[in-house]
């Protein structure tokens, strides 16, 4: 299901789509299937996804188990989960037997457990699929393919080549080979190229790379991505707690993980979830976004209550109200910049706890420098506009103070979230803007209330 989030439908596909839909509408499903077969599997999946359910069912009836297996890998989770409803259990088992076990596991995860068990029972590759199903789909165990070749360290290179030649695995799973001891424990790795061009008489243990990095089955996908990226691995072996080779995570999964994690961080910061689609059902969107809107209603109402406390001051001088959105809004923007950089830097490992003091000082200095300029500018505007120097000074002081607070909150809130074992993306942005809103109103209206007698506007 690697393609679900990486779309990029080629424009010329629209013509084929139309032609296939036309043929299906007149019942020519065999002709439609022929046209579909001329496409590459990811494009076939795309065309199927766009069809309505009856057309999709008619077209699928024309496809062989092998052809469906090629397609199923590229279907979105939602469409793949509909498959068992469109074709019978025995055909479904046949399709999934043809697909790689990690893809079959993804499909089975998406359907109800009763149905999944029925399909699994009729599959011949049920053992390797069940092995992947044991794990959460965002753990190394759930991401890995169990189809890896573990060569015994004691065999010869020519014996190893014979094993590879006889292996039923597809070619792309023969590119990276692992080496195990007689107990199955991972002890090394070797690329096909190194093996092919090794001296003929050599043993595997002579030519393997012994510095092999591996993860345990329970390792989180983000951690897997970090290790693969850092050490330039195309394939990360996965072992059980005894070090026995269980499978390997392929680099293709990591491109998806990198996109997923980034999307997730980005959407979490505004209070919705990474799995929300603008083309999905509305109830999912409500479930994702509504709680956040409620939380924010609380925080903006709190700001409203703070303003109401200064009702007397505003009554005496209504123009004061005009600069509430200015002081709060400007610091909110600055705080959001800092908090976004912090969240992303923490996620990518660019900034760690031990850098935090330096980053705090840096952002504080930056806020002071930028703040003096921005706040002076605003103060000047207020002075000239309202012809009142004291008023300008109050707005200057309130904005400068709030900008420095925004920087401090922008650095500390994500660090605090992480220290509390909460994802820094989830709540940092709303906490920081609540802080800048509230503090902005408090400091500005307090200063205004204290110095109102010195003001000559109004």
Site for its own copies in 197-216 (CB under 8 A): 197, 211
Among 141-149, 179-187, 239-247, 287-295, the segment contacting its own copies (CB under 8 A): 287-295
DSSP string, 327-365: HHHHHHHHHHHHHHHHHHHHHHTSS-GGGHHHHHHHHHH
Residue 307 interacts with its own copies (CB under 8 A): yes or no: yes
Nearer to its own copies, 105 or 116 (CB): 105
Nearer to its own copies, 161 or 244 (CB): 161
Residue 349 interacts with its own copies (CB under 8 A): yes or no: yes
- What phi, psi does 245 have (nearest 5°)? -65, 125
The binder of its own copies chosen from 174, 393, 416, 446 (CB under 8 A): 174
Residue 303 interacts with its own copies (CB under 8 A): yes or no: yes
Question: How many residues belong to the site for its own copies (CB under 8 A)?
Answer: 117
The binder of its own copies chosen from 143, 238, 441, 449 (CB under 8 A): 441
Residue 329 interacts with its own copies (CB under 8 A): yes or no: yes
Rounded Cα distance between 407 and 386, Å, is 29
The binder of its own copies chosen from 125, 272, 390, 426 (CB under 8 A): 272
Nearer to its own copies, 244 or 266 (CB): 266
Site for its own copies in 27-86 (CB under 8 A): 40, 42
Dihedral (C-alpha) 415, 421, 425, 427: value to the nearest 10 degrees?
-90
Rounded Cα distance between 188 and 209, Å, is 5
Residue 294 interacts with its own copies (CB under 8 A): yes or no: yes
The binder of its own copies chosen from 12, 15, 171, 183 (CB under 8 A): 171
Alpha carbon 325 to chain centroid distance? 34
Contact 106, 139 (CB under 8 A): no
Binding mask 252-271 vs its own copies (x if CB under 8 A, - otherwise)?
x-xxx-xx--xx-xxx-xxx
Residue 6 interacts with its own copies (CB under 8 A): yes or no: yes
Rounded Cα distance between 256 and 4, Å, is 9
Rounded Cα distance between 115 and 282, Å, is 26
Among 58-66, 119-127, 133-141, 330-338, the segment contacting its own copies (CB under 8 A): 330-338
Rounded Cα distance between 304 and 326, Å, is 15
Cα 384-389-393 angle, rounded to 5 deg:
110
Residue 394: closest CA among 407, 383, 405? 383
The binder of its own copies chosen from 340, 390, 402, 427 (CB under 8 A): 340
């Amino acid at each position: 299901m690697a393609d679900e989030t990486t779309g990029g439908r080629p424009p010329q596909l629209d013509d084929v789509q139309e032609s296939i839909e036309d043929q299906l509408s007149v019942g020519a499903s065999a002709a439609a299937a022929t046209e579909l077969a001329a496409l590459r599997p990811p494009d076939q999946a795309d065309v199927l996804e766009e069809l309505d359910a009856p057309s999709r069912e008619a077209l699928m009836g024309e496809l062989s188990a092998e052809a469906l297996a090629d397609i199923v890998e590229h279907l979105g989770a939602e469409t793949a989960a509909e498959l068992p409803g469109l074709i019978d259990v025995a055909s479904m088992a046949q399709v999934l037997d043809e697909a790689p076990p990690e893809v079959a596991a993804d499909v089975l995860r998406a359907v109800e457990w009763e149905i999944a068990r029925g399909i699994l029972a009729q599959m011949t590759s049920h053992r390797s699929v069940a092995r992947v199903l044991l794990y959460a789909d965002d753990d190394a165990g759930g991401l890995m393919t169990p189809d890896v070749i573990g060569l015994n360290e004691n065999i010869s290179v020519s014996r190893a080549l014979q094993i590879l030649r006889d292996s039923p695995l597809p070619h792309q799973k023969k590119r990276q080979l692992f080496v195990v001891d007689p107990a199955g424990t991972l002890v090394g790795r070797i690329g096909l190229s190194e093996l092919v061009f090794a001296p003929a008489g050599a043993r595997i243990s002579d030519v393997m790379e012994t510095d092999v990095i591996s993860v345990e089955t329970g390792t989180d996908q983000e951690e897997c991505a970090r290790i693969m990226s850092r050490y330039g691995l195309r394939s990360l072996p996965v072992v059980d707690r005894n070090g026995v080779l269980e499978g390997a995570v392929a680099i293709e999964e990591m491109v998806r993980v990198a996109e997923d994690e980034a999307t997730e961080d980005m959407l979490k910061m505004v209070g919705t979830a990474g799995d929300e689609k603008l083309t999905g059902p509305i109830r999912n969107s409500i479930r994702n976004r509504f709680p956040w809107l409620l939380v924010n209603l609380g925080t903006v109402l709190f700001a409203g209550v703070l303003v109401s406390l200064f009702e007397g001051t505003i009554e005496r001088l209504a123009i004061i109200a005009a600069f509430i959105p200015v002081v709060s809004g400007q610091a909110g923007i600055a705080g959001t910049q800092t908090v976004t950089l912090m969240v992303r830097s923490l996620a990518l490992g660019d900034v760690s706890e031990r850098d935090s003091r330096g980053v705090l000082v840096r952002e504080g200095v930056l806020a002071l420098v930028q703040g003096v300029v921005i706040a002076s500018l605003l103060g000047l505007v207020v002075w000239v506009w309202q012809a009142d120097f004291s008023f300008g000074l109050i707005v200057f002081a309130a904005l400068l103070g709030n900008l420095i607070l925004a920087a401090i909150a922008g650095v500390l809130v994500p660090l605090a979230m992480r220290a509390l074992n909460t994802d820094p993306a989830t709540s940092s942005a709303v906490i920081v803007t609540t802080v800048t809103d509230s503090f902005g109103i408090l400091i500005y209206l307090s200063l205004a209330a204290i110095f109102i007698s010195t003001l000559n506007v109004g």
